[in-house]
Structure 1
Amino acid sequence: MKKWSLIIGVCLLMGLTACGQGEGEVQPADSKGIEHRGNSKPKSVVKELTDKERQQVLSKVNSGMVQAQNSFGLRLHEALHQELEEDNLIISPYSITQALALAYNGAAGDTASEMAAVLGWEEQDIASVNDGNQQLKLLLERGSGVVLNAANSVWYNRGIQMKPAYLDVMKNHYAAAAQATDMESEEAKDAINKWVENNTGGMIPMIYDKPPGGVAALINAIYFNGGWSNEFNAADTTDQDFTLMDGRKKNVRMMKQERKYDYKEGESWQAVRIPYGDGRMHMLVILPKESSSLNELHQQLWQDTSLWKDDFGYETVQLELPKFKVEQTFELPDALKSLGMVKAFSETEADFSDMANDGDEFYVNYIKHKTVVDVSEKGTEAAAVTAVGVDTTSMPLEPIQMQINRPFFFAIEDRDTGTWLFMGSVMNP
């Protein structure tokens, strides 16, 4: 039987532009004067949920799936850390999970079981998984003083028998419009790249430098824009030393601000939540004390994150945070295999028969993940791309000092659901 290939591409973009829904063009950010990049013409602003609507959607969000996503992200963070050791390590658990959800809907048998186990979905049927992802997407997108939108599309070769049930799920739960094309043609490459550019505001102008080939491409674009609730004054930003893991000093641009923040500390760490927009999303920064280290903090994080979920006080903090921009690219198969996702990568054992008539001959041959995180006085700009390739076959008297001048961990978190959109360790800002 002829061998086919399937490319599943997922782009997660956090930046100064917004993505449309389905096949729509790029949406603008909100009306707060946020600029747009590229030549894309924005359409309408996404309507925010009222407080009542938000509570209704929040009641439908599967908290177990959110916890599973964060846990999966940390286990993947740990696995990748074994490879990178003292390098920066920034990933998007949300992006990777959504990418794998598109593939999971086409998986069957032991392949689906392994994927569910790694993603923490063993106790959920597929309908619950899809509904959970749909409700979470709605809640995250529809207002928190930041902009977060997602768009999906399915491109497949003319003549390929994609299963109607699979395409229905893509349309109804992931808002993915389907388009038949010639995946070997320049026209397909140009059309997909144009869709990617339009739905990332021009920040990602292309995903393919040659025709994608194979049987199909599943593309997901997610956009986030988060300005600090209280911007740092650029005039207060100064050059300061940042101590690297090996003890060497590096000169960085350090932002400064003194105000009340959600704050908590333990014997070996300090933690602060820096809010975006209306405060429903924030950056959680966890800094090991000078008597400890980021490696010790990692061990605590990988074992149990409950310490950083509740019981934050509201304290006056004299905060210093480095401006930083980190870009990374990962190959994820080895890390995912180490977590137990094995059969999906096997030419003889993988089963994606719920995706297409020939899907029992598909197998995952690569998963690439790229992230960009840029933190400045105004807020956070970040992007992540995940591509899954499938071949056939109490108030203190004085301000608390928190000088983030050594390696630290951070997560961009939705307050209401606890979803970690990005997480990472900054060793060298």
Structure 2
Amino acid sequence: MKRRFIFLLLLALFLFGFSHPRPTTLNNVVAGEDDLQSLRTSLALFSEELLPYDDANPIISPLGLYINLSMMAETVSDDIKQDIFAFLGLESINDLRELNRAVITAYTDNSLAKEFKLKNFLFRDTGVKNDNLYNEELIGEMKSNYSLEDVIINLLQEGPAKISKTIKDTTNDFLIVPEEEIANFLHQYSVNVLMNIIYFNDEWSDKFTKSEVKDIDFAGQSGQNKKVKGLVGQRVGLYYKDENSVIGTLSFNKGCKIYFILPDEDKTVGDVIASGVIKDIAEYKLEFQTGDIDYKIPKFDITYQYDMTDILKEKGLEPVFSPQLDSPFYLGEIFQYEALYQSSRITLDEAGVKAATATMSFGCGAKSAPPRIPVTVHLERPFIYLIATPQNIILFSGIINNL
């Protein structure tokens, strides 16, 4: 019986190029090397520890989660800040602000891809503002540090439609999050929604032709074989082989790469993730070679919704989702975050890849180069992939169990 096919997607934005492993600038924006190293490691660990890889086709955005937690840290009490700092691998709010400014400043145009957007939003409630219960000075600082767009509306009545439309518009109609999905997290005591949106769209540098779109066999999680449309052809790329998997890459037009990680026949995706290969890729620990790679890549279009609240509590962030009396953001009696939620979509076809994730946290108050060698990467059984810039920060991660 063929083993199941799990497809782990890791869309990665890398802060460091292979030829420059330790710079301290990001598009001329200075950031401390220790902080950048911490960011690379944190995003890799998010992918290894937070992906529910037994789900059908999970996707997460590690970078979206990182930025959203950074903004949340601004709004919680000092002791809870420390829990977030520990989770993100940083020591102070100044380190967090400096690093986020560097990332956001560098990744706010289309230099990384045909289309690339990284945007942050704060949705606030009109009634709460009229009651002067927001710390406007702090919000002003957040606007500056996170390029934050401040939107003041009736959260309960107008929030679902406004947030849904913001996601749709920011991703050029690619990611659609229904109003009902957002409304599930809002109620009469809602105080704020912090939202990060990341959108990526680029084409293959060596395009696939229509004649290279063929039927391929796909062995899904259930073990059943299925014929699906896929990309079949040879491309030059980087590759790496160890006792657990083979890794191959393809390039996009503006320098980003996608890493396909195919577990060996006797290994599962869980085995490969547990080996730490994602962290090794992010930290430049693998010695890639150049090869002519014979590819079979399934086409797909996947959407995924992930309430990350419970898994984040398990990882030490339960205080973030507990009532607090001394929030510097909300000046009422009690404030807490009730949920952190991601909604994602990714497509891969002969043209290239599109991917987007909206990360939302919901707050409430008043309630609680060697010679080329032929390499075969036939993605017809469980495999993992990464999309990366010529540099090193994980943007999206996910898994496909069935097509």
TM-score, length-scaled by structure 1: 0.76
Tell whether 2:231 aligns with 1:264.
Answer: no
Structure 2 counterpart SS, 1:305: helix
The unaligned stretches of length 5 or more in structure 1 are 1-13, 15-53
Structure 1 counterpart SS, 2:296: strand
Tell whether 2:197 aligns with 1:221.
Answer: yes
1:47-126 → structure 2 map (5 Å cutoff): 57=27, 60-80=30-50, 85=54, 87-121=56-90, 123=91, 125-126=92-93
Aligned to 1:311: 287
How much does 1:226 deviate?
1.6
How much does 1:112 deviate?
0.9
Aligned to 2:341: 368
How much does 1:131 deviate?
1.9
Aligned to 2:103: 136
1:2-401 → structure 2 map (5 Å cutoff): 57=27, 60-80=30-50, 85=54, 87-121=56-90, 123=91, 125-142=92-109, 143-156=111-124, 157=126, 158-159=129-130, 160-186=132-158, 190-204=161-175, 208-209=179-180, 213=188, 214-279=190-255, 281-301=256-276, 304-306=279-281, 309=284, 310-347=286-323, 350=324, 353-358=327-332, 361-392=334-365, 393=368, 394-395=370-371, 399-401=374-376
Structure 2 counterpart SS, 1:218: strand
Q: Is the 8 A contact 1:229 1:275 kept in 2?
A: yes
Compared with structure 1, are the counterparts of its residues 263 and 323 closer, same or farther at alpha carbon in structure 2 (3 Å cutoff)?
same
Structure 2 CA distance, aligned partners of 1:193 and 1:372? Answer: 14
Cα RMSD after superposing both structures:
2.9
Structure 2 counterpart SS, 1:357: coil
Deviations 1:114-161 (A, max 9, x none): 11111222x2x2122112112112223341343322233333223243
Question: Which one is further off, 294-303 or 260-269?
Answer: 294-303
Structure 1 CA distance, aligned partners of 2:320 and 2:280? Answer: 29
Residue 108 of structure 1 aligns to which amino acid in structure 2?
S
TM-score, length-scaled by structure 2: 0.81
Q: Is the 8 A contact 2:77 2:327 kept in 1?
A: yes
Deviations 1:10-62 (A, max 9, x none): xxxx9xxxxxxxxxxxxxxxxxxxxxxxxxxxxxxxxxxxxxxx966356244
Structure 2 CA distance, aligned partners of 1:76 and 1:56? Answer: 22
Compared with structure 1, are the counterparts of its residues 384 and 145 closer, same or farther at alpha carbon in structure 2 (3 Å cutoff)?
closer
Q: Which has the higher contact order (CA 8 A, sep 6+)?
A: 2
Tell whether 2:396 aligns with 1:425.
Answer: no
Q: Is the 8 A contact 1:414 1:420 kept in 2?
A: no
Structure 2 CA distance, aligned partners of 1:234 and 1:376? Answer: 11
Aligned length: 367
Structure 2 CA distance, aligned partners of 1:189 and 1:259? Answer: 44
Structure 2 CA distance, aligned partners of 1:338 and 1:169? Answer: 31
Structure 2 CA distance, aligned partners of 1:201 and 1:330? Answer: 22
Structure 2 counterpart SS, 1:134: helix
Residue 154 of structure 1 aligns to which amino acid in structure 2?
L
Residue 249 of structure 2 aligns to which amino acid in structure 1?
R
Structure 2 CA distance, aligned partners of 1:316 and 1:380? Answer: 21
Structure 1 counterpart SS, 2:27: helix
Structure 2 CA distance, aligned partners of 1:404 and 1:340? Answer: 36
Q: Is the 8 A contact 1:262 1:272 kept in 2?
A: yes
Q: Is the 8 A contact 2:197 2:357 kept in 1?
A: no
Aligned to 2:19: none
How much does 1:246 deviate?
4.7
Q: Is the 8 A contact 1:283 1:410 kept in 2?
A: yes
Residue 57 of structure 1 aligns to which amino acid in structure 2?
N
Report percent identity of matched pairs: 20
How much does 1:341 deviate?
0.5
How much does 1:185 deviate?
4.2
